[in-house]
Structure 1
Amino acid sequence: MNLRNNTILITGGTSGFGFDFASKLITLGNTVIITGRNLEKLRKAKLQLPPVHIYQSDVSKPEDITRLFNDVTARFPGLNILINNAGEMRKISLHHQHDLEDITREVEINLMGPVRMVQQFLPHLEKQPEAAIVNVTSGIALGAFPLSPIYSASKSGLRAYTQSLRVQLKNTGIKVFELLAPGSTTSLNDKFMGEDGFSTRFMMAPEKVVDAALKGIERDKDEILPGASKLLKVLSRLAPKLALAQASKIGASYMYGK
């Protein structure tokens, strides 16, 4: 996949992987558009990356996606790459009481968001000579992470959807990539600091994860597994019970209320 002179839309582009994707893709000569829920963060990103185009939009809201599609495709008719990066991860003890609408928040953002984005933008992408969809899942999609049960389920679901999407689009000009991101030193993981069993030892810097992703996309690798994600894939096949047992040690006191 050629990563120069494209028009690229990145959801959740104000920090972490999304911001690094934007920065590196702009350097490669692409037109880059980022979205985010927080207007102040979008404006800050614009100050840091003057060439970037910003849109306030929430992937968990279908009406925002429709508005985003109408605005972006009218202004950037050459849009040909969609990177579904927006995500949320929470630690949740299912022993605690949770509002029934709030408990599924990660499903709405991490799974339904990309599904709706693809459905909305697919007819436009199909008109482009060359196009791509990049879904950012997680090494956690390869097995359960009990401390974040809803996040874990949402990323596993997105992985299954991405695989099905790739099959259905195989006779089109749209390539479908999956970035199974490993644990990274982004704000997403800040809330886990101090939890028993949690370690930053195998975490990758976000810029290194994005570098690996871009190399994989350029080489047309359907699945990109940087760092520890490669090991997690091996463990999920050869020793799934061991992988779950190790994951279950993280945050045990929080989960079981000890």
Structure 2
Amino acid sequence: MQHTGNTILITGGGSGIGQALAHRWHDAGNHVIITGRRRQALDAAIAGRPRMSAYVLDVTADDDVAAFARQVVADHPSLNVLVNNAGVYSAEKPTAQRDLGAAQRMIATNVLGPIRMIDALVDHLSRQAGAAIINVSSGLAFVPLPGAPTYSASKAAIHSYTAALRPLLAGKVEVIEIVPPQVQTELTPGQSQDPDSMPLAAFVDEVLALLQADPTPAEVCVERVRYFREAEAKGQFDQALQMLAQYS
């Protein structure tokens, strides 16, 4: 992946990891486009930053995604990088019958959202120089959090989808996965102040340093997430799962 001169589209770019990446890539000389559901957050994220644009978008709406893709390509024909970062999280207690609304929202946003975005833009990206698709998964894709089974499953699905897509687009579009640990964002209430979560700035620093490698790594795993990414291969899956069960 080239590091400057891109036109980068980031879903969920109005806060958290998406906003932090957007600002850092913008500082590096890229044009950055962000989307999200809240206009106020988007406007705050691009304030005072030339070469940044924002669009309100709900990635769970088929027609909205299709219309947005047509508009963003018309407005920014040099678009060459798609970052699927938008995601939602809900804790769950699946041990008794419950309302499945939260589970359905997570699948619609975290799984079908990236699939919709890729489908809407893959033809355009395949014609661009230096094209890349970056999907943001989670360490929970590899060891699930028992208290968040649907969220964990949604991120496992994105890992699998990304891996399957990579050989199909080889030679046309780089397909990269960013695997965060728990980071200080507001994905869950109070998480941005949690001392056990990785500071957001440190996470983005490490991600961008790893993306500088040539060739670009297929999976961008900061050191803090490697225990979970490698747990099964190292025979530590059950131990890691039991550790996460304490937080459920």
TM-score range relative to shorter protein: over 0.9
Percent of aligned pairs with the same residue? Answer: 33
1:236 to 218, 229, 232: 232
Matches within 5 A, 1:39-78: 39-47=39-47, 49-78=49-78
SS at match of 2:54: strand
In structure 2, distance between residues paired with 1:231 and 1:200 = 20
Q: Which residue of 1 aligns with 2:201?
A: 207
The offset of 1:200, in angstroms, is: 4.3
Matches within 5 A, 1:1-258: 1-47=1-47, 49-95=49-95, 97-170=97-170, 172-190=171-189, 200-219=194-213, 220-237=216-233, 238-251=235-248
In structure 1, distance between residues paired with 2:8 and 2:149 = 31
The offset of 1:202, in angstroms, is: 4.3
Moved more, 30-39 or 40-49: 40-49
In structure 2, distance between residues paired with 1:223 and 1:202 = 23
In structure 1, distance between residues paired with 2:200 and 2:97 = 34
In structure 2, distance between residues paired with 1:128 and 1:107 = 30
In structure 2, distance between residues paired with 1:224 and 1:53 = 26
Deviations 1:69-119 (A, max 9, x none): 011000100000000000111111124554344431111111111111111
CA RMSD of superposed structures (Å): 1.9
In structure 2, distance between residues paired with 1:98 and 1:45 = 37
Structure 2, unmatched stretches of 5+, are none
Structure 1 residue identity aligned to 2:188: N
SS at match of 2:90: coil
Deviations 1:29-79 (A, max 9, x none): 111000001112112222264542000001111112111101100010000
In structure 1, distance between residues paired with 2:148 and 2:190 = 11
* Aligned residues of 2:90 and 2:102 also touching (Cα < 8 A): no
Structure 2 residue identity aligned to 1:124: H
Structure 1 residue identity aligned to 2:30: N
- Gap change, CA 1:53 and 1:96, over 3 Å in 2: farther
- TM-score of the superposed pair, with normalisation by structure 2: 0.93
* Aligned residues of 1:141 and 1:156 also touching (Cα < 8 A): yes
* Aligned residues of 1:37 and 1:58 also touching (Cα < 8 A): yes
The offset of 1:173, in angstroms, is: 2.4
* Aligned residues of 2:11 and 2:18 also touching (Cα < 8 A): yes
The offset of 1:221, in angstroms, is: 0.8
- TM-score of the superposed pair, with normalisation by structure 1: 0.89
SS at match of 1:33: strand
